[in-house]
Chain A
Amino acid sequence: MTDPDRDRPAAAPDAPPGDAGPGGHSPADPAGGGGGRREPGGYGAADPAGGDRGRCEPGGYGAADPAGGDRGRREPGGPAGVVAGAGLAGPAGAARAGGGLPEPGGPVSGGVVPGGPVLGGVVPGGQVLGGPAPIGPAPGGPVPWAAGGLRRLDARSLVSRLLSLSSLRQRWGLLVALLAGFGISGRFRLTTAVLAVVAVVAVTLGSALVEWIRFEYAVADGRLVVQRGLLQRSLTVVPLDRIRGVDVHSTAVQRLLGIAALRVDAAATGGRHDEAVLDAVSVAEAGRLRRLLLREVPSGAPPGWPAAAGGGPVAPGAADGRPAAPGAAAPGAAMPGSAVPGAAVPGVAVPGSAVPRAAMPGSAVPGAGAIPAPDGAGPDGAGGGGAGWEGAGRQGAAGGEGAGPVGGGSDGAGPDGAGWPGAGPVGAGPVGGGLGPVGAAPPDPGGADQGWASPGWAGAGWPAPAAEPVTELARLRPSWLLYAPLVGSYLLAPVAAVAALQQYLDDLHIPWFDRVAHAIGDSRFGPLEVAGLAVAALAVCAVGAVATAAVGNWGFTLARRGGSLVSERGLLSRRQVSLEVARIRGYSLAEPLSLRLVRAARLTALVTGLGGDNTRRGQLLPLGPATVARAVADKILPFTGELRPHPPAARRRRLLRATLPWLLLALVAVGLRWWWAAIPLGALTLLGVPLGLDRYRGLGHGLDDRALAVRSGSLRRHEVVLDQRGVVGWQVRQTFFQRRAGLATLTAGTGAGGFDIIDLAAADTHTVLHAVSPHQTAGLVGNQPPAEQTTDPPAAASHG
């Protein structure tokens, strides 16, 4: 089971002893852990057991896939199947629940069959519930992904695992316990302390090693397959067409090691957690996987997008309307690469650089077999190989000068050469290292630019295939970080840090800290001192906010690459997020009051299925002038219409809602003669007037032939522009008071969330519904009476 061979013999049935074979799993758990759900087939027949909850999968999901077992993942299947996911009742799910799981070499029960047999129509519920009924015939042939070869994570990930903060945090308690144990017994010596540390390191390394050995992945036949675990084996199969985005993230340690963690986000789990995490693979492998998983097709740009090749790069300075200072125009010079101390990365064999570019056109997903196994360097590849890492500083300068179209690695593309004036110094030395294919093209800077710490991380660290056009859409200027104190989340970051630190110090019971804390708590300050302290605290918070924003967003770039929007940021740890353009439903332009004062904004993409992750992963411009944000937004989804204000009745409602609650509370306080409460409540009532008026000014909605725009809010104003095709369903809501005022709230539901058009004229719901969903709402809009008013629907009611 610990056979390190990557290529398993395809048909070798080396199933583990406890493995329940395809047909061998016991019917003990027919429900597969799916709870009280019942098979859709049960709808026709009376279903005795699961009578309280049923589920139909209309999606025609094909044969139940084994991965569906515990995570509810579904296979896109044939046209007609109404089959519950394996997690509901499939035998494969049952097999997993039993702890067994087919080894990759062995025959697999009708699960991971590409285009698995779909049972037409409704699967009879009884049959599936009955236990190991065949959902699909088990293929005797080779398991699809075994042919592609299973790969391990990069061995260097062991080092990063050992040094990572999270593992330190995990083992911290153990270390403290060991030390405390020795300390209490009164025989504390340096040797015991060292022994304790060694023990903790050994435990960490051991568990990491076991994890590493038992973790394998492959991309083949349109799926990402991940299997892992020692005692509890788990197999994750993610169909590539369900993959929504790929994040590449690397901590500072991982950057030095030249590895990166890959997070795959797929549609099946409703965006609750990442589908698969590969922590970590080599930088080159991460780039290869990203392209494979996102199936990047250069020509796949949907209409309406600026042609990637033709679209000029966004020059922040120009869009800004301000003259670009020389220093600012080349922010690359101050980019992380050069800022990282000791940025000259130690020579590390980058396996992927052995892969000839030509073999990886972005247009075709290459079969896994077509790619030379890049892992030749093996665990001890560090230091060997010789594809050296050039000094980041030099590359930083080069990247800065190429700040226009940071083409990065797109060798074939024209702008690339121009963008890399320093191609000579950057490209020459390192490539000589004997990696044939790359060395064969000496003038190609891309070949050398596996440089992790390079500022043009986008292009440089992640070489793009030749045919893949890259267009830079935005680049954060360091001066924009000064907006950070105006954003609540950044301003509070230092406070949170202090709170965390305090708890940590409390745990340690450091005597001087307690004393200082007491001294502060006991002393009495005059009002002047309090004010001074407050100002000082605010200043510290402001500096901290800028620092936090810098660490998180330093060197932020946004680029369009093939069918994805790729953003990168981070000072110490670097994070690259790829969002599939096809899943972007629009954007949200956030202009909170504080940012409006300085005409700044933040821009976030609305991506279907990201859920709450939108703010974290969908960032298109974390901070910047509103003009720049709008320029970027126009490249995502141009909105040419105008926002229409809402009727005056809406102003009354905004005013009432901003003042009335405070006014009532104030009146109660006055009635009770609680003057201490009445005065601030009265002040809040008065403040509600400008607030309500500004909220009304914020209200608006607009339509053009492609987009729907919605704006609301004052302290937290958002302007959302949605692609009309992305609107899934509608909700109209009218409270008693809205009805009297002739208003209603219309909510456009999209896969990226619901967006309220607050208090529009009730009659205007017709306008919006008709413009966006003409066919769906044709028979519903208008005040005509229904055709018939039946109290008890006939059996055929649903055929309407």
Chain B
Amino acid sequence: MGADVPLRVPRYRVHPNARWLWAAEGLLVAVIFGGASASAWFAVPADAGAARTIADVLPWVALPLAVALVVVQPLWRYRIHRWEITDQVVYTQVGWLTRTWRIVPVARIQTVDTTRGPVQQLLGLSTVIIRTASHAGSTDIEHLAAGTADAVAHDLALRANAVRDEVT
């Protein structure tokens, strides 16, 4: 049972530093959830019945969740996240539990941006934002080396211009 989508894997991985960024993002969620469950564990009185039961269970959920988010998620994502630019399309694959592939024809590209968040700047990463007339038909290439992202953006802008298809 089960079948994969018949799409081949895109060629390139993202920058290895992306793992640290994903770990940081996972840590943030883990800290929030862990903090909430810890405060529930301390705050809920022993005679609170159902609420106490939930408060007792929460830390046991929080711990594996934290491990999954901080350790498993970044490594898993690093295996999945890939990108490629063929002569026709920008092709990306992202996700870990849920996978998403995006195919964006270069001829339909309207704008190419690059963006770098604060953590990305610390890690020397950059994201290329590729926009078409359609939101669903747009894509981001996340967490490339800053130099690579600039080169990609520049190149895509020139090529999109050369083969531009005015139909939106």
Contact = CB atoms under 8 A, between A and B. Distances in A.
Contacts of A733: 98-101
A338 to B, nearest CB: 42
Contacts of A799: 85, 155
B86 A800 contact: yes
Interface string A733-775: 1111001111010011111111100000111011001000101
A481 B117 CA distance: 53
16 contacts: A52-B121, A56-B154, A729-B104, A733-B101, A736-B98, A739-B3, A762-B4, A763-B6, A778-B88, A780-B89, A782-B6, A789-B9, A790-B13, A795-B148, A797-B85, A798-B156
A640 B145 CA distance: 48
Given A782-B8, A783-B8, A777 B89 contact: yes
Contacts, number: 245
B7 to A, nearest CB: 6
A773 B105 contact: yes
A780 B8 contact: yes
Contacts of B101: 730-733
Interface stretch (B24-32, B37-45, B64-72, B130-138): B130-138
B5 A43 contact: no
Given A40-B157, A797-B148, 12 more contacts: A58-B111, A726-B167, A729-B138, A732-B5, A740-B1, A773-B103, A776-B103, A779-B86, A784-B8, A792-B15, A793-B144, A798-B85
Interface in A374-422: none
Contacts of A785: 8-9
Nearest to B110: A59
Contacts of B148: 793, 795, 797
A43 B6 contact: no
A663 interface: no
Q: Is the interface of B mostly helix, strand, loop or mixed?
A: mixed
A777 B100 contact: no
Given A43-B154, A728-B137, A731-B101, A765 B167 contact: no
Give me the 10 closest cross-chain CB pairs, A-B, nearest first. A754-B136, A729-B137, A749-B137, A749-B136, A56-B157, A58-B160, A749-B134, A728-B137, A742-B3, A751-B133
B46 interface: no
* Interface-central residue, B1, B5, B91, by most chain A CB under 10 Å: B5
Contact of B105 (A728, A750, A779, A781): A728
B6 A729 contact: no
Q: Is the interface of A mostly helix, strand, loop or mixed?
A: mixed
Chain B's interface size range is: 35 or more
A742 B1 contact: yes
Contacts of A773: 103, 105
B11 A786 contact: yes
A115 interface: no
A742 B161 CA distance: 39
B161 to A, nearest CB: 5
A82 B158 contact: yes
A774 to B, nearest CB: 10
A58 B109 contact: yes
B6 A800 contact: no
B1 A56 contact: no
B96 to A, nearest CB: 9
Interface in B94-125: 97-105, 108-117, 121
A74 to B, nearest CB: 10
Given A59-B161, A736-B97, A43 B1 contact: no
A369 B45 CA distance: 84
Given A739-B4, A763-B6, A79 B161 contact: yes
